[in-house]
Each structure stands twice: as structure tokens, then as C-alpha cells.
Amino acid sequence: MTRRQLAGAVFTTVATAAAAQAPPPAPSTPAAELQAALEQNQRTSETLAKTPVPIETEPAFHFTA
């Protein structure tokens, strides 16, 4: 597989994933807008919780009072 074929395959995969995650149409009322934002945040947090993060990625934090 050449670099161009690999790049094409990756681009196709990313484009398909982005199209599948297209945002829903904008709600018309403020309450509906708030509910849609809460649902989107919930879906995002669930997706991030499923993504493994290697320990090397995490920076070392030292909090001082």
C-alpha cells in the first residue's frame, strides 16, 4: 500500500465518521436548545470515557496551596 492509498483510506474513514456525527437541526425554543446541548454533552462524555488514554499521555500535576 502506498502513502497515497493510505492517506486516501484514512481520509475516507474520517469523512465517513464526520458525516455520521453531523449535528441535528437547531432547536427553535431556548428550552429545546438547552436540552439538545445537554444531550450532546452527555454523548461526548460517554465517547470520551470509552477512549483509552495511555499513562504516558497524562502530564504530572503538582498542586501547591
Encode the chain in three state secondary structure.
CCHHHHHHHHHHHHHHHHHHCCCCCCCCCHHHHHHHHHHHHHHHHHHHHHCCCCCCCCCCCCCCC
pLDDT tens digits for 3-60? 777 666 666 766 666 555 656 666 678 898 899 899 999 999 998 888 887 777 766 7
Which positions ≥6 away from 61 have C-beta within 8 Å? none
Report the predicted TM-score, pTM, of the whole model to 2 decimal places: 0.44
